[in-house]
Amino acid sequence: MKSLLLTLFIFFQFTAFAQKDCDYSTNVVDTIGAYKATKDYLVHERIFAGNSTYIFFSLVNVDGTPYLKVQTVNKSSDFIKAVCFDANSKIYLQLVNGKIITLVHTENETCGNMVRVEEEKKNTRILTGDFMFLKGSFEDLKSSPVSLIRIKSATDVQDYIFKKELVSELMNQTYYPENYFIDYIKCIENN
């Protein structure tokens, strides 16, 4: 009986600390080059007073260059102001170990698109941007959870606290934003 309990305990320890499998939305290699991207992952959700904000991450590798694709979705019955990413936009990731990782925007200016969803009687603004990892940041991201993210756009700066566990009302799933990079950065590393 003791050996059965010990075996079960060890099994659960391995499954609890096992890294996540890579789940790609796109993984293509052809004569033009290589492109792979992980599926979108919800890292922040706030629903309050009829307004909602969602942030999705996806890790991308284009011909050996890794990026973080960030998509913000805002929904409101009121007008939603435009937010843009430009050459000066950055993302700052504060890790639990105290280090701060900086990612820089890769493109020229890109602004969110506004769409009216008549069924919900809400405006929806979607902003997507690609951010490049600076050299040497992978090891820190693989070893420490993220506690806070700061998104600096052309016109605004927003801070978001990352939760250890996020039970999404939108997706009806449980996410672990704090450990996103620990679990998935391996999916875009050059092997």
- pLDDT one-digit tens code per residue, 123-153: 999 999 999 998 888 899 999 999 999 999 9
- CB-based burial of residue 3 (10 Å sphere; 0-12 exposed, 13-18 middle, 19+ buried)? exposed
Q: What pLDDT, on a 0 to 100 scale, did the predictor assign at position 164?
A: 96
pLDDT at 15 over 50: no
Q: Quick one: pLDDT band at residue 12, thresholds 50, 70, 90?
A: very low
The string of pLDDT tens digits covering residues 49-88 is 889 999 999 999 999 899 999 999 999 989 888 899 999 9
Confidence category of residue 11, pLDDT binned at 50, 70, 90: very low
Report how far residue 90's alpha carbon sits from residue 150's, in angstroms, rounded to the nearest whole number. Answer: 8
Give pLDDT, residue 167: 96
In a domain, 17, yes or no: no
Q: Note down the domain range covering 137.
A: 34-187
Would residue 16 count as lying in a domain? no
Residues 111/84, Cβ–Cβ less than 8 Å? yes
* pLDDT of res. 191: 53
Q: Domain total for the chain? A: 1
CA angle 17, 103, 101 (to 5 degrees): 55
Residue 13 falls inside a structural domain: no
Question: Is 99 a residue whose pLDDT tops 50?
Answer: yes
In a domain, 111, yes or no: yes
